[in-house]
């Protein structure tokens, strides 16, 4: 089995001594997988196109992964999307945190948590 399959997470790949274009991620870091990053970057791209967001940063720490969103690159992040696996069974691993530190939404599913930031048009039925 090759370590280059499209379904696997690069942080889970085990080296077999052969050169690879993946960079090794230390086991003691929490990362976003491909599906999570795809969903976050999809929302980010729409908000950049709308002119609301301008920059982002990704941090992989020992206890959590953080996607920070900036209105301008020289400011504090206006939102942080965090993945904390320690909270997965309790409150949910995903959370959206505002610039003031207020947890706007927390849950087990990333799509539901990101809805708090998604200001797309919605159909209202009578």
**pLDDT digit string (tens) for the chain, length 126 residues:** 444 444 444 444 444 544 444 555 567 788 888 999 999 999 999 999 988 899 999 999 999 999 999 988 777 899 999 999 998 889 899 999 999 999 999 999 999 999 999 876 566 776
pLDDT at position 12: 44
The two structure tokens encoding residue 7: 């379904």
For the chain, the structural domain boundaries read 34-114
Distance CA 96, CA 90 (A): 16
- The pTM score is 0.72
Q: pLDDT tens across 112-124, in order?
A: 999 999 876 566 7
Distance CA 29, CA 107 (A): 21
């Amino acid at each position: 089995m090759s370590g280059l399959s499209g379904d696997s997470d690069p942080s889970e790949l085990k080296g077999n001594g052969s050169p690879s274009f993946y960079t090794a991620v230390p086991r003691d870091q929490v990362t976003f997988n491909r599906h999570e990053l795809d969903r976050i970057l999809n929302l980010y791209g729409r908000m950049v196109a709308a002119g609301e967001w301008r920059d982002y940063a990704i941090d992989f720490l020992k206890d959590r992964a953080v996607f920070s969103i900036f209105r301008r690159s020289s400011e504090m992040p206006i939102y942080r999307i965090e993945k904390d696996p320690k909270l997965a069974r309790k409150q949910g691993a995903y959370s959206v945190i505002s610039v003031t530190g207020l947890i706007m939404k927390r849950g087990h599913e990333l799509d539901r948590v990101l809805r708090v930031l998604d200001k797309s048009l919605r159909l209202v039925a009578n």
